[in-house]
Amino acid sequence: MKRLIFLMMALLMTINLFAEELPKTANIKCGPWVVGVTENEMTIVWTSTSRCMGWVEVAPDDGTSFYAEERPRYYEDLMGRHVVSQVHHVRLTNLKPGTVYRYRLFQQCIDDRGHSPIPLGRVTASDVYSRKPFAVCTLDKSKEEISFTMINDIHGRDSIMNAHTKDVRANNPDFVVFNGDMVSFMGSIDDIEKGFMTRASKNFSPDYPLVYVRGNHESRGPGYGEFLNLFPTSTGTPSYVFKHGPAAFLVLDCGEDKPDSDIEYGGTAAYDAYREQMAAWLKQAIESEEFKTAPVKIALMHIPFEKEAGWWGNNELKRLLLPLLNEAGIDVMLSGHNHAYSFRKAGSMNGNEFPILVNSNNDRVEVKVNKSEIRMNVIDATGKLLHEHVIKVE
């Protein structure tokens, strides 16, 4: 009898599941943004209003209409299937260095609850008729001078986010860096969208590569794992190396700031082991021929090195990473975290052989790099130049 009741309940649940009507069309909810950009590849990421299959069509920036011919399609594939999801990451490959590519996003809702997936409703696409298509340029190691803009510690403040990104298109840097703590808490994807990515999407992110350095606040909350879902990297961790123009960049994760056993982490923290793994990775990354031969070397890490022993996380980063960064011949490190500007000369932090620029939570840093110098301008939310630094590269 019990078995019969169980079977009837299972049947009713199945009928109910299939009776539920799925949305028939999906639109862009947030994005797109472009991460993991190299000379030959990039990943386009966006979220949709409902679960759907997403794909990207790509066209060269040759002045032709997007409708001039059928454009190649790129999908996100997993184990032989196009992915159906609300978060899309489509990797474009076989691109040329320093080349602008136009692209268009497509979405098709699919009912994949049964054995045979069924396309639903109509296909939606980003507009390439009444507005210019999205367009982004690949990186280029042969470029003589490069530029980027860095903001950090936005903590979800839209007015500051807008003030520093509204002119990205006018200033036209090669890429934009988020140096951590863009939100205070990673509850869900919604927090990331509302906190800064909706604004980023309006102001620049469809058209400029994004480099996102994880801060300590991005590791807080049940949605912390969404970081790599929304901002995937080539290494599968937030730490990686990329090259552009004369510079090699080290993007370094930092972990949390207190001891793993702190009451604040409720027994979930394992940052000691994680930082050790990161140091092992860094040791090998700085030994690569590609990194060693770059004329300019820049490290990006949210938490800066301090002069005196302080909080556990800072101390451990200094113990594990600073000797390796010295050995790597870093020319400058860019950080945030402290919510106050400081410029720390080489040698001023008990052991740093390179300067560290710590940007405040209210300003941005605009950087230009060629093979002989790094120019860094710290600019406030009104556009006023606050500090200017030039580092000569030997």
* All residues at 6 or more sequence positions from 36 whose CB lies less than 8 Å from its CB, including other chains: 42, 43, 91, 232, 233, 234
Q: With respect to Fe ion, which residue has the nearer C-beta, 146 or 358?
A: 358
Query: Closest distance between Fe ion and the C-beta of residue 302, in Å?
Result: 6
Q: With respect to Fe ion, which residue has the nearer C-beta, 215 or 304?
A: 215
Q: With respect to Fe ion, which residue has the nearer C-beta, 181 or 253?
A: 181
Q: What is the DSSP string of 269-301?
A: --HHHHHHHHHHHHHHHTTSHHHHT-SEEEEEE
What's the longest Cα–Cα distance across the chain?
A: 84
Query: Closest distance between Fe ion and the C-beta of residue 304, in Å?
Result: 10
Which residue, among 71, 88, 83, has the nearest Cα to 27 in the 3D structure? 88
The H or E element that residue 19 is part of is helix 2-19
Q: For residues 341 and 362, what is the distance between their CA atoms, to the nearest angstrom?
A: 9
Q: What is the DSSP letter of 307?
A: S
Query: Closest distance between Fe ion and the C-beta of residue 321, in Å?
Result: 16
Q: How far is CA 29 from the centre of its chain?
A: 18
Torsion sign (Cα): 42, 46, 51, 54: negative
Q: With respect to Fe ion, which residue has the nearer C-beta, 39 or 253?
A: 253
> In a 3-state reduction of DSSP, which class is residue 124?
strand
Q: With respect to Fe ion, which residue has the nearer C-beta, 26 or 154?
A: 154
Query: Closest distance between Fe ion and the C-beta of residue 383, in Å?
Result: 25
Q: With respect to Fe ion, which residue has the nearer C-beta, 31 or 313?
A: 313
Q: What is the dihedral of CA 358, 332, 136, 38, to 10 degrees?
A: -130
Query: Closest distance between Fe ion and the C-beta of residue 30, in Å?
Result: 23
Q: Which residues pair with 75 in a beta bridge?
A: 55
Provide the token pair at 156: 């979800």
Query: Closest distance between Fe ion and the C-beta of residue 180, in Å?
Result: 6
Query: Closest distance between Fe ion and the C-beta of residue 303, in Å?
Result: 6
Interface residues toward Fe ion, by CB under 5 A? 181, 215-216, 337
Q: With respect to Fe ion, which residue has the nearer C-beta, 164 or 297?
A: 164
> In a 3-state reduction of DSSP, which class is residue 117?
coil
Query: Closest distance between Fe ion and the C-beta of residue 326, in Å?
Result: 23
Q: What is the DSSP letter of 113?
A: S
Q: With respect to Fe ion, which residue has the nearer C-beta, 174 or 181?
A: 181
Q: What is the DSSP letter of 217?
A: G
Angle at 14 (CA atoms; ends 11, 16), nearest 5 degrees = 110
Q: With respect to Fe ion, which residue has the nearer C-beta, 75 or 265?
A: 265
Q: For residues 260 and 71, what is the distance between their CA atoms, to the nearest angstrom?
A: 51
Query: Closest distance between Fe ion and the C-beta of residue 347, in Å?
Result: 25
